[in-house]
């Protein structure tokens, strides 16, 4: 039931504060992650020396964000690969490697095949972060962390993605703590930030009307370029995927530092450039990347906190999103990109919940 909403996708975007809270429920105390959420025996967390993440599509983008968190917080090497590639190659597996899959449906053919292959190989254990408790992936994995997002009907994944990120942050903090890489004080600060996450996401959704206005500028565009740096690069990839899927506008994403190595050649007055600005030490570098784009006539659409210092100007459309702790930026900054692609699709009149050529669950190769 769509209730008051015109499309399932919009309903699911608006459900995010509630389902992120459901994903956190029972997994955190006031000051730490409750490792019992990984099952009765969470001793494996201490043994992890490497992580291989395997997934498809939007779930793969969530894995790409997790790599930044895991290497930063837990100091453990982490690789991320799409399941359709992983399953057909010989993989080198270092000692004590965790095999981690991500899937909304738990029925994606390539992800299941990758898990079955991994179970024959020398992994420490297999963990699935999944939204469907009764799925094949959950049944066949050694360990499961459910995302608790509730049924997702819109083909374009929204709440499944942000709850995957929430579950991945829980996992990253738990591993870091068990490996002795995280002080009690730092863990408490991270958990306190996590507690505020539903309220931050709610505040980001409140920008809906402003983003709807911006979306009108995209109706007659044929291409778009998304830029991000650090953990915001996978968010740029996810923003581009959403726009492609439901509005059929060709969109690409690059880490902003790669511009000069090729994509800058594409930039002219007809090219909108969308960027989510982090408020960290990479901000100045991002700003100089954006100046290069402006100098070639590219029109900028910037989403960022007030603290980033962006303002409306000639050729710069600035939309404010609330300030959040740096670790949460990938989750909260996803919201404006979801809303943007949604409103662009509505303006273009495409079938938002059932985009052409796509199925909700890809159960064949």
Residues between 144 and 173 with contacts to ligand F6R, criterion CB under 6 A: 156-157
DSSP annotation of 133: T
Which of residues 108, 148, 177, 338 is near ligand F6R by CB under 6 A?
Answer: 108
Residue nearest ligand F6R by beta-carbon distance: 57
Q: Quick one: which segment of 11-19, 89-97, 105-113, 120-128 binds ligand F6R (CB under 6 A)?
A: 105-113
Residues 213-242 as x/- pattern, contact with ligand F6R by CB under 6 A: ----------------------------x-
347 Cα distance to chain centroid: 25
Pick the closest to residue 246 from 270, 224, 268 (CA basis).
224
Which of residues 16, 84, 104, 166 is near ligand F6R by CB under 6 A?
Answer: 104
Angle at 241 between CA 190 and CA 338, to 5 degrees: 55
Task: Count the residues of the shown chain that bind ligand F6R, applying the rule CB under 6 A.
Answer: 15
Q: Are strands 299-304 and 316-320 parallel, antiparallel or unpaired?
A: parallel
Q: Judged by CB under 6 A, does residue 56 bind ligand F6R?
A: yes
Q: Judged by CB under 6 A, does residue 334 bind ligand F6R?
A: no
With beta carbons less than 8 A apart as the criterion, state whether 247 and 218 touch: yes
Q: Judged by CB under 6 A, does residue 103 bind ligand F6R?
A: yes
- Residue 217 vs residues 46, 51, 149, 239, 301: alpha-carbon distances, Å: 51, 42, 32, 16, 10
**Cβ closer to ligand F6R: 192 or 363?**
363
Structure tokens at 83: 């399941």
Cα separation of 164 and 146, whole Å?
9
Q: Judged by CB under 6 A, does residue 329 bind ligand F6R?
A: no
Q: Judged by CB under 6 A, does residue 57 bind ligand F6R?
A: yes
Structure tokens at 167: 């579950």
Both ends of the chain: CA-CA distance in Å? 31
Which of residues 111, 147, 171, 334 is near ligand F6R by CB under 6 A?
Answer: 111
Structure tokens at 270: 């007809």
Q: How far is the CB of 248 from ligand F6R (least distance, A)?
A: 14
Q: How far is the CB of 137 from ligand F6R (least distance, A)?
A: 8
Structure tokens at 262: 């090729």
Residues between 60 and 89 with contacts to ligand F6R, criterion CB under 6 A: none
Which of residues 16, 35, 59, 275 is near ligand F6R by CB under 6 A?
Answer: 59
Q: Quick one: which segment of 25-33, 99-107, 262-270, 318-326 binds ligand F6R (CB under 6 A)?
A: 99-107
If you write DSSP's letter for every residue of 195-236 in order, what string do you get?
A: HHHHHHHHHHHTTHHHHHHHHGGGTT-SEEEEEE-TTHHHHH
Q: Quick one: which segment of 92-100, 103-111, 121-129, 186-194 binds ligand F6R (CB under 6 A)?
A: 103-111
**Cβ closer to ligand F6R: 201 or 241?**
241
Pick the closest to residue 226 from 247, 265, 254 (CA basis).
254
Cα separation of 275 and 285, whole Å?
13
Q: How many CA atoms lie within 13 A of 315 on its CB side?
A: 16
Q: Quick one: which segment of 52-60, 176-184, 259-267, 269-277 binds ligand F6R (CB under 6 A)?
A: 52-60
Q: How far is the CB of 359 from ligand F6R (least distance, A)?
A: 8
Q: Judged by CB under 6 A, does residue 10 bind ligand F6R?
A: no
Q: In the annotation, is 360 catalytic? A: yes
Q: Judged by CB under 6 A, does residue 362 bind ligand F6R?
A: yes
Q: How far is the CB of 51 from ligand F6R (least distance, A)?
A: 18
With beta carbons less than 8 A apart as the criterion, state whether 308 and 324 touch: no
Pick the closest to residue 125 from 231, 65, 41 (CA basis).
41
Catalytic residues: 360
Give the binding site for ligand F6R (CB under 6 A): 56-59, 103-105, 108, 111, 156-157, 241, 245, 361-362
């Amino acid at each position: 039931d769509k209730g008051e909403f015109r499309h399932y996708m919009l309903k699911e975007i608006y459900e995010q504060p509630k389902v992120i809270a459901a994903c956190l429920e029972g997994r955190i105390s006031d000051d730490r992650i409750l490792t019992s959420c990984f099952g009765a025996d969470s001793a494996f967390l201490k043994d992890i020396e490497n992580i291989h993440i395997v997934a498809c599509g939007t779930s793969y983008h969530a894995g790409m964000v997790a790599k930044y968190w895991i290497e930063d917080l837990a100091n453990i090497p982490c690789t991320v690969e799409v399941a359709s590639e992983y399953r057909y190659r010989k993989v080198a597996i270092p000692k004590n490697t965790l095999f981690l899959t991500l899937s909304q449906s738990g029925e994606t053919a390539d992800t299941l095949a990758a898990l079955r292959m991994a179970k024959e190989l020398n992994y420490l254990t297999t963990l699935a972060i999944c939204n469907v408790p009764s799925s094949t992936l959950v049944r066949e994995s050694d360990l499961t962390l459910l995302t608790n997002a509730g049924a997702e009907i819109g083909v374009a994944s929204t709440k499944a993605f942000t709850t995957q990120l929430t579950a991945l942050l829980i996992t990253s903090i738990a591993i870091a703590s068990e490996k002795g890489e995280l002080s009690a004080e730092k863990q408490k600060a991270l958990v306190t930030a996590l507690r505020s996450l539903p309220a931050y996401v709610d505040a980001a959704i409140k920008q809906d009307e402003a983003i709807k206005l911006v979306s009108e500028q995209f109706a007659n565009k044929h291409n778009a370029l998304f830029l991000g740096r650090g953990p915001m690069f996978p968010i740029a990839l996810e923003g581009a995927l959403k726009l492609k899927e439901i509005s059929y506008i060709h969109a690409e994403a690059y880490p902003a530092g790669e511009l000069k190595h090729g994509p800058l050649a594409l930039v002219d007055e007809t090219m909108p450039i969308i960027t989510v600005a982090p408020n960290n030490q990479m901000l100045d570098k991002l700003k100089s990347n954006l100046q290069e784009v402006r100098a070639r006539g590219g029109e900028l659409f910037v989403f960022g906190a007030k603290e980033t210092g962006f303002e409306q100007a000639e050729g710069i459309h600035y939309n404010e999103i609330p300030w959040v702790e740096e670790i949460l930026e990938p989750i909260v900054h996803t919201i404006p990109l979801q809303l943007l692609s949604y409103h662009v699709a509505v303006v273009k009149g495409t079938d938002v919940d059932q985009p052409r050529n796509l199925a909700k669950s890809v159960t064949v190769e």
